[in-house]
Structure 1
Amino acid sequence: MIVPGSASQALAAALADETGRSLATPEYHWFPDGEERAAVPDFDGEEAVVVAATDSNDALVELLQLQDAVREAGADEVTTVLPYMGYARQDRAFEHGQPVSARAVARAVSTGTDRVVLVTPHEADVADFFDVPVDVLDASSLLATPLPADLTEPLFLGPDASAEGLAVAVRDAYGAGETDFFEKERDYDTGDVTVTPSDASVAGRDVVVVDDIIATGSTMSEAVAALHERDCGDVYTACVHGMLAANARTKLAAAGVERVIASDTIERVASEVSVAPLVADAL
């Protein structure tokens, strides 16, 4: 049975359709002090597949409750699908005395599950923090599907060197174009990002800027603005995890983005691609 977290209802429903499994309908109660209590139907020995993006602290607590609830309801095996793993970017202690938050989250999630499925984590090595078997799925190639078939001399760009592999995956799935990346420096104290354009020729070419996540939109909007300064054609942004926090979507529009493409690992208006078939193959 597929058990959706509140942040992953559409994805869980799509996954139920893909796998032919039934879809549970959790119920929630909130106490006057703000605490939440999740409840699920009986499982009678079934496997429970909990699908829950942890895009907020509340979502993380809810996931831990759902894992415990399905055990109480009789599930004999629990698989946890993390379409988006919150805190995955905090995969090291940046200064002495600071936590490795990804490790802390992974250990907490591990206590309530037999297996974890991760979709395009920011760093694949976060899988090592879990105490249970982990399958890491790469959804980046799915982002090519919504792109127009007639892009002009397409260039697929990563906003930094670490994202070039994502750009290559999307280019290969699209079937045409070149790849390159921007140089990016991030100040981890302030969060400020400086983007330096690469040497790729962009004049008159349609560009697809690819990353694993768009959070605040600052990195992407700087990259897009730099491209328009060099007389590029249309610019598309594509990411697996479209967090698009606060005014991120407005930043991208103001920078001149033609279209924002994201998957449903985080359910937003830009979620044009579903990772359900990819996850279904892993179950």
Structure 2
Amino acid sequence: MIVPGSASQALAAALADHAGRPLATPEFRWFPDGEECASVPDFEGQEATVVAATDSNDAFVELLQLQDAVREAGAETVTTVLPYMGYARQDRAFEEGQPVSARAVARAVSTGTDRVILVTPHEPDVADYFDVPVDVVEAAPLLADPLPAGLRDPLFLAPDASAEGLAVAVRDAYGGGETDFFEKVRDYDTGEVTVTPTDADVTARDVVVVDDIIATGSTMSEAVAAIRERDCGDVYTACVHGMLAGNARTKLAAAGVTRVVASDTIEREASDVSVAPLVADAL
């Protein structure tokens, strides 16, 4: 049975359809002190697949409750699908005395499940932090489908060298174009990011800037503004995880983005493509 977290209802429904499995209808209620109670009163069967993007601290607590609830309801086997894993960017201690937050949450999630499926984690090595088997699903190629046909001599750009593989995956799925990347330097003391434009010729070319996540939109909008100054064609941004927190969407529009493409790992207006078929194959 597919059991959705409150932040992944559409994805869970699509997954149930693709996998041919029944869909549970959890109930979520909050007590006056702010504590949540997530329950699965209509759960049936001995196998549960909990689908929950952990895009907030509350979502993590809710996931742990759902894992425990399906066990209480009789599930003997639990698979946890993390479409988006929060804290995956905190994969190491950046300063003395800081936690490895990705490790802490992975260990917590592991206590209530027999298996985990991750969708394009920010740092692939976070899979090693879980105490149960982990399958990683790479969703970047799906981002090519919503892009318009006939892009003009397209250039697929990553915001830094580590993300160039994502740009290559989208380019290959699209069926043509070149790839390149910006130089990005992050100051971990201030959190500020400096982006140096690529030397690639973008004149009259359509550009697709590809990353795994757009959170605040600051890095992406800075990258877009840099190439907009060089007489490029249309600019698209594509990401697996469209967090788009705060005024991120406005930042991107102000920088000159024609369209934002994202998957439904985080359910937002820009969720143009579903990872459900990929996750269904991994179940």
TM-score range (shorter-chain normalised) is over 0.9
Q: Secondary structure at the match of 2:162?
A: helix
Equivalent position SS for 1:28: strand
Match of residue 220 from structure 1: 220
Amino acid corresponding to residue 230 of structure 1 in structure 2:
R
Deviation at 1:188, TM superposition (A): 1.8
Aligned to 2:17: 17
Q: Measure how far apart 1:240 and its partner are.
A: 0.1
Q: Counterpart of 2:90? A: 90
Note if contact 1:92-1:100 (Cα within 8 Å) is conserved in structure 2: yes
| Alignment correspondent of 2:67 | 67
Q: Distance in 2 between matches of 1:101 and 1:186?
A: 19
Q: Distance in 1 between matches of 2:211 and 2:57?
A: 23
Does the CA-based 8 Å contact 1:81-1:116 persist in structure 2?
Answer: yes
Instruction: Determine if contact 1:42/1:74 at 8 Å carries over to the other structure.
Output: no
1:201 to partner: Cα distance: 0.7
Structure 1 position 233 matched with structure 2 position 242: no
- Indicate if the aligned counterparts of 2:45 and 2:74 stay in contact, CA closer than 8 A: yes
Deviation of 1:44 (Å): 5.0
In structure 1, give the amino acid aligned to 2:200: A
Counterpart-to-counterpart distance in 1, 2:152 and 2:144: 15
SS in 2 for 1:66: helix
Secondary structure in 2 aligned to 1:226?
A: helix
After superposition, what is the alpha-carbon deviation per residue over 1:118-162, rounded to whole angstroms, capped at 9, x for unaligned? Answer: 000001100000000000010000000001111000000001111
Q: Percent identity?
A: 86
Q: Is contact 1:215–1:245 with CA below 8 Å preserved after alignment? A: yes
1:115 aligns with 2:87: no
CA shift at 1:79, angstroms?
0.2
Q: Which residue of 1 aligns with 2:28?
A: 28
Paired with 1:151 and 1:35, the residues of 2 have a C-alpha distance of: 49
| Equivalent-residue separation in structure 2 for 1:169 and 1:256 (angstroms) | 24
> Offset at 1:46?
2.1
How much has 1:192 moved relative to structure 2? 1.1
CA distance in 1, matches of 2:2, 2:44: 14
Q: Is the 8 A contact 2:82 2:119 kept in 1?
A: yes
The alignment of Structure 1 onto Structure 2 pairs a total of residues equal to 283
User: Partner of 1:7: helix, strand, or coil?
Assistant: coil
The alpha carbon displacement at 1:42 in A equals 5.2
- Give distance in 2, aligned partners of 1:153 and 1:44: 52
Match of 1:207 in 2: 207
2:46/2:74 contact within 8 Å kept? yes
TM-score by length of 1: 0.99
- Distance of 1:254 and 1:43 partners within structure 2: 46
Whether the aligned pair in 2 keeps the contact of 1:143 and 1:273 (CA below 8 Å) is: yes
Q: Deviations over 1:186-244 (max 9, x none)?
A: 11222211100111110110000000000000111000000111111000000000000
Q: Does 1:77 align with 2:98?
A: no
Distance in 1, matches of 2:188 and 2:72, equals 41
Structure 2 letter corresponding to 1:74: G
The match for 1:179 is: 179
Instruction: Answer yes or no: is 1:49 the counterpart of 2:41.
Output: no
Q: Is the 8 A contact 2:26 2:42 kept in 1?
A: no
CA RMSD of aligned residues (A): 0.8
CA distance in 1: counterparts of 2:36 and 2:167, whole angstroms: 40
User: What secondary structure, in the 3-state scheme, does the structure 1 residue paired with 2:7 have?
Assistant: helix
Distance 1:6 1:189 in 2: 34
Q: Which runs of 5+ in 2 are unaligned?
A: none
Matched, 1:146 2:146: yes
Aligned to 2:253: 253
